[in-house]
Amino acid sequence: MHETPPLLLRREALAQGWSDDELARALRTGELSRVRRGAYAHEVPAGERHALLVHATMAQVRRAAVVSHQSAAVLLGLPLWNVPLDRVHVTRTPGAGTHRSSVLCCHVARLRDDEVVEVSGVRVTNAARTLLDLARSLPHELAVVALDAALHRGMLGAEQLRDRLFDVVGSPGSRAAARAVAFADGRSESVGESRSRVALARWKLPVPELQFEVRSPAGLLVARTDFAWPEDRLVGEFDGRVKYGRLRRPGETAGDAVHREKLREDAVRAEGWGVVRWGWSDLEAPHRLAARLRRARERARPPV
């Protein structure tokens, strides 16, 4: 669950002896930032800032509502990538109207009692319902990133997601949700790997095996790779800069990790496997990545 940082409401600040002039001065100097009208906090990361916005907004919402969609994801600690966090998303029961303002986005849907949990005193859609709502409302790539990460971290199981799909059948975006859930795979270990899978599927590349183990003829493990096409003896590796930080061992520099990764690649090639690497910039031009992979597969095929 998300740990919400302290929020300073104007009415509380005034009760504690602050004046409006002091609050204004703190805003000018950067000591405080405005979360929304009448609610302040010290500078915090985007996720924590959104959690503050949720609590500040829900404190002023008069009609019953359940925090949902990306706002629920933040409070539950579910991973997000490139998802807008400028508004608080809530869900109300049918009979209410949809509503969108500068800080609030209200959805209308039926929620069962077991789809709602409490986080820090706020009613929130549970992990399964939150992920399905995201899969209904976000672009496919963003939805897959969230689903993959939640599955990889063990926040819930793929079967649980599939079982809960019937809760959103017939609602807007339900087909998109079913497609994203069917595509999701907890073996994807990073945003880059999830985005890569989406790009490869869109360009109709053969479905790769994930976290594939390259072994020697004696059965010894040579390397575990992000992607593999065993029929072509070709492996693929996503190279995000964060990856090398994750690979660093105690006492190693980033350069040491890069050198060790180079030796690992040499060992994979020595076993007769081709290696294709790509990074963030390649995901912005997936047609070129697809072309590189097709050429690599053609080179890997034995001559006729």
**Res 99: pLDDT:** 77
**193-227 burial string, b = 16+ CB within 10 Å, else e?**
bbbbbbbbeeeebeebebebebeeeeeeeebebbb
Q: Confidence band (pLDDT; 50, 70, 90) for 205?
A: very high
Question: By percentage, how much of the chain surpasses pLDDT 90?
Answer: 62
Question: How confident is residue 102, by pLDDT bands cut at 50, 70 and 90?
Answer: confident
pTM for this model (two decimals): 0.79
Look at residue 241 in the predicted model and tell me its pLDDT: 52
Q: Is a pLDDT exceeding 60 seen at residue 304?
A: no
Q: Report the half-sphere exposure of 205 (CA within 13 A, side-chain side).
A: 29
Share of the chain above pLDDT 70, in %: 88
Q: What is the Cα–Cα distance from 20 to 223, expressed in whole angstroms?
A: 61
Strand-pair category, 39-41 with 8-9: antiparallel
Q: What is the pLDDT of residue 250?
A: 65
Residue 231 has pLDDT above 70, yes or no: yes
Decide: helix, strand or coil at residue 253: coil
Give the pLDDT confidence of 143-181 residue by residue, as tens digits.
999 999 999 999 999 999 999 999 898 899 999 999 999
**Domain segments of the chain as ranges:** 1-43, 61-183, 191-300
Cα maximum dimension of the chain: 84
Stated as kind and residue range, the H or E segment containing 99 is strand 99-100
- Give yes or no for residue 245 having a pLDDT over 60: no
Q: Which CATH class is domain 191-300?
A: alpha beta
Q: Assess whether pLDDT exceeds 80 at residue 213.
A: yes
Helix (H) or strand (E) holding 211: strand 209-215
